[in-house]
Amino acid sequence: MTRASTRPVPTPPPPNGGPGRTTPTAPGRRWSTRLVIALLAGAALAGCGGSMPKFDYDAERKATSKYSIGPGDILEVRAWNNDALSARATVRPDGYITVPLVGEVLAAGRTAIDIANEVANRAEKYYTQKPVVSVEVAELHSYRVYVVGEVARPGEFTPTAQVTVLQAIALAGGFSRFADPDDIVIVRRDSFGERRIPFPYSRVVEDGQLRANLPLQSNDTVVVP
């Protein structure tokens, strides 16, 4: 099987734009833009050659699978066999939600598990036994990712659920005919600073190395040179 046979066929952008915002690029600037993107990708992939990049995708996947909640997200707080503690709450601009009995709970920047544990701990004093609490993200509104470079519709996207690298590329309409999928990188800004994570497209699509198809964090940028 050749690599070319597995790459998505580029699709033209639909009339009136697509799901993300696109900034037009003047023809004379195409090569300078491609050079900048290639340099970003090359910095992450230097020394990797054609083999699987030396990166701990399993550890990264474990970290990114826990969505960090943000303002505007809608949460479902449920307490087993206890409607008095259950609620549907929207994360306010100040980052807090209001939970019955418990009151104000900080939600922004935390995971659903963290919030559930705090609600259970603070509600324990009202019951003979500690309540069993779960928190689920019912609707995402703070989540956004960016896809730039050689795709049909580069721009910002606001999916209603957390997406992987391949799903983000699909949202952007697939590759353009100039794309070099094996040099894709994810630019991520987190507590470790700005990082560039290599995405081995052919290894994922052709060889089934799905652990490298990472879930994207909010504000991640997928760079397609």
**Tokens at 185, concatenated:** 């990188």
Give the amino acid at 63: A
What are the E-state strand segments in the chain?
A: 74-79, 87-90, 96-99, 103-106, 133-139, 145-149, 155-157, 184-190, 193-199, 221-224
Q: Provide the pLDDT for residue 145.
A: 97
All structural domains of the chain: 47-66+143-225 (3.10.560.10), 74-139 (3.30.1950.10)
Q: Would you write out the chain's pLDDT as a tens digit for each of its 225 residues? A: 444 444 444 444 443 444 444 444 444 444 444 544 544 445 444 444 445 557 889 888 887 777 889 999 999 999 998 889 999 999 999 999 999 999 999 999 999 999 999 999 999 999 988 999 999 999 999 999 999 999 999 999 999 889 999 999 999 999 999 999 999 999 999 877 899 999 999 999 999 999 999 999 999 999 999
Nearest of 147, 64, 144 to residue 55 by alpha carbon: 64
Q: What pTM, to 2 d.p., does this model score?
A: 0.68
Q: How far apart are CA 149 and CA 177, in angstroms?
A: 12
Phi and psi (nearest 5°) for 111?
-95, 165
Strands 221-224 and 145-149, by their bridges, are: parallel
Q: How far is CA 122 from CA 25, 71, 164, in A?
A: 53, 22, 35
